[in-house]
Amino acid sequence: MATLIPKYTQVTTANRTIAQKFAETISVKDFGATGDGTTDDTAAIQAAITYAVTNSIGTIRVPSGTYNITSPIKLYDRTALVGDNSGTTTISKSTNTVGTGSNTARSGSVTDSYAYDDIIQVIHANNAYAYYVQIKGLHLKKTTYAASSHGIYYPRAAYLKFEDVWVENVQYGMYTYDTFMSSIRNCMVQGVAYGYTHANDGTGNGTGTSMVYQNCYVNFDNTVAQPSIGFNLFGLSYSNLSSCGVDNGTPATGGITAYYLSTCNTIAISGCGTESSTGRVIYLASGSASVTGLRTYRYTGSTLATSATVWVESNSTLTLTECKFETLLSAGVQYNYIINDGSQVIEINPQSSPNGGDTFTAYTSSAAKTTITGTSTTKVTSNGTYNYQAYPSLSATPTSGTWAVGNIIYNTVPASAGYIGWVCTSASDTTTGTINSGSNSLAVASGVGINNGDSITVAGAGAAGAALVTTVSSGGGTGTLILGTNAGTSVVSAAVTTPGTWKTFGLIS
């Protein structure tokens, strides 16, 4: 008897057979894959992909189950490998078998080998990219960790999408050299040494643009592999990371780098963080990056060699906006900042700056850190600290506040034969002091630079904890200053400042 194929009726278009409808998407189980976790499903999965490529079928379904493979699965242009979700659909590689073959890139000047122990390999043609590849809803894992292994290896790709992919027990979670106009969203790598890598292909030329990493997570498992770098990016430009995290990186010695950027330009990192780790939070060399709303939590300093919470070098510019760095639980051998070789770090309204590490900061070769808060700016270089404030208007020279040489006050009551304003000719002096309520005897850490008759501000020593603004009656230059006004509140180690020396400028005719 002939097999009857019923019609599939659509409302507005021509009728098609069910066979035609089903042919739009195929399943690896149509080609003999079992998903039982024991049978070697490598050949069946690869056969499904080959059939899809040959017949221009875009999506290969991988139903829930555990699919054991023994060699890398190869994906090609315009194919999508889609599981039910990363919690129920697993592809597990039980061997260290490497892939085969290679393809040229950059007009034949570079060869990309596929001789790696990978779970999935995205294959590009010679001197081309792999276009429109998608991987979604899959848990990719090695049954045992192995060095030089990758979860997904995609050396050259464009318009690629990875979503809801969980990679586990490999050295490199996701690895590429040159990918652009692509997105990696809602993915996790776990039990790895490196999370998401955009690598140098050996030429040293920066490649890759317009990449999006969104809700991507690196969850190091120190019992599986010694963690090293969360986001390991080289040569990437005008790309962004948003709502990403790097956690639990505590190697036996040394420390991790959560966000490592080398030869990257105009990288935007927004709403990201790192928790329960040891070592560097951000490393930037030979590039530029803007970081907004980053937070650290439960961080400790490196245990081996020199490290820094923020390390910037090689003429780079890093902008930190509204970031919150928790105090290091243990400083180890960690600095708060290392800024070298003409590099610049600009902090804008920090919730809290890197702190808890060694207070020494290496600023060399015109490198500097500038902190902008409200209307004040503080710049730190190898030559010292400079405070810049907005040019305010007053009717006389200031009696409080911290001022730097060159700061200007404009006269709000100019008069004939008077002056336009005042300029600071010697900077404010600062120290700390202790005073009891009702007393005018202020014990300071150092009275050097504070003279009799100077105006002085003692934070918190006024009535109800307000600042106490007064003058030094006697004791100038010593460790005990006698003030012209009694304290209204007792304070210990309060900030003590003088407003510096001011000279008039701009005679009014």
Give the domain ranges of the chain.
14-386, 393-507
189, pLDDT greater than 60? yes
Separation of alpha carbons 486 and 27, rounded Å: 85
**The two structure tokens encoding residue 453:** 């008759």
- Provide the β-strand partners of residue 479: none
What integer is the mean pLDDT of 95-100?
A: 98
> What would the two tokens of residue 22 be?
């089903």
pLDDT at 156: 97
Sequential DSSP letters for 45-81: HHHHHHHHHHTT--EEEE-SEEEEESS-EEE-TT-EE
Q: In degrees rounded to 5, what are phi and psi of residue 209?
A: -145, 165
* Strand positions, DSSP E, 349-414: 362-363, 368-373, 376-381, 384-389, 393-394, 408-411
Mean pLDDT of 333-343: 94
Strand, coil or helix: 459: coil
Structural contact between residues 491 and 459, judged by C-beta atoms closer than 8 angstroms: yes
- Enter the DSSP assignment of 4: P
User: Is a pLDDT exceeding 80 seen at residue 70?
Assistant: yes
Measured between its terminal Cα atoms, the distance across the chain in Å is 116
Cα–Cα distance, 355 to 353 (Å, whole number): 6
Q: Residue 122: its pLDDT value, please?
A: 98
Q: How many CA atoms lie less than 13 Å away from 164 in the CB half-sphere? A: 13
DSSP string, 420-449: EEEEEEEPPPEEEEEE-TT--EEEES--TT
The pLDDT assigned to 384 comes to 66
Q: In the chain, helix, strand, coil percent, each to 5?
A: 5, 50, 45
The tens digit of pLDDT for each residue in 10-41 reads 555 567 676 666 667 899 999 999 999 999 99
pLDDT higher than 80, residue 443: yes
**Average pLDDT over every residue of 144-151:** 95
Position 22 scores a pLDDT of: 61
**Is 279 exposed, middle or buried, given 0-12, 13-18 or 19+ CB atoms closer than 10 A?**
buried
Phi first, then psi, for residue 46 (nearest 5°) are: -65, -35
For the cut 50, the answer to whether the pLDDT of residue 240 exceeds it is yes
On the question of pLDDT at 382 being above 80, the answer is: no
Three state DSSP letters for 154-212: CCEEECCEEEEEEEECCCEEEEECEEEEEEEECCEEECCCEEEEECCCCCCCCCCEEEE
What is the rounded CA–CA span in Å between residue 418 and residue 412? 11
- Residue 493 scores a pLDDT above 60: yes
pLDDT of residue 1: 44
What percent of the chain has a predicted confidence (pLDDT) above 70?
A: 94
Cα–Cα distance, 76 to 129 (Å, whole number): 10
Sorted by sequence, the CB contacts under 8 Å of residue 240 that are 6+ apart come out as 211, 212, 213, 267, 268, 269, 270
Question: Taking CA 361 as the corner, what is the angle to CA 357 and CA 363, rounded to the nearest 5 degrees?
Answer: 160
Q: What is the pTM of this model?
A: 0.79
Strands 430-435 vs 468-474: parallel, antiparallel or unpaired: unpaired
Q: What is the pLDDT of residue 291?
A: 98
Q: Looking at residues 441-449, what average pLDDT do you find?
A: 94
Nearest of 437, 454, 438, 464 to residue 496 by alpha carbon: 454
- 108 residue type, one letter: G
Q: What is the pLDDT of residues 342-358, one digit of tens each?
A: 999 999 999 999 999 98
With cut-offs at 50, 70 and 90, classify the pLDDT of residue 306. Answer: confident
Cα 412 versus chain centre, distance:
46
10-19, 301-310, 362-371: least confidently modelled range: 10-19
pLDDT confidence of residue 24: 78
Q: What's the half-sphere exposure (Cβ side, CA atoms, 13 Å) at 201?
A: 24
CA-CA distances (angstroms) from residue 394 to 280, 391, 401, 408, 422?
45, 10, 13, 10, 9
Per-residue pLDDT at 284: 98
| Averaged pLDDT of the chain | 92
**Residue 447, burial from CB neighbour count under 10 angstroms (0-12, 13-18, 19+):** buried
Average pLDDT over residues 295-317: 95
The pLDDT-based confidence of 313 (bands split at 50, 70, 90) is: very high
Q: What is the pLDDT of residue 365?
A: 74
Helix (H, G, I), strand (E, B) or coil at 302: coil
Helix (H) or strand (E) holding 290: strand 288-292
Average pLDDT on 447-476 reads 92
CATH fold of the domain at 14-386: Pectate Lyase C-like (2.160.20)
The tokens describing 49, both together, are 């992909």
What local confidence, expressed as pLDDT, does residue 279 receive? 97
Distances (CA, A) of 80 to 85, 278, 289, 340: 14, 38, 33, 45
pLDDT at 300: 96
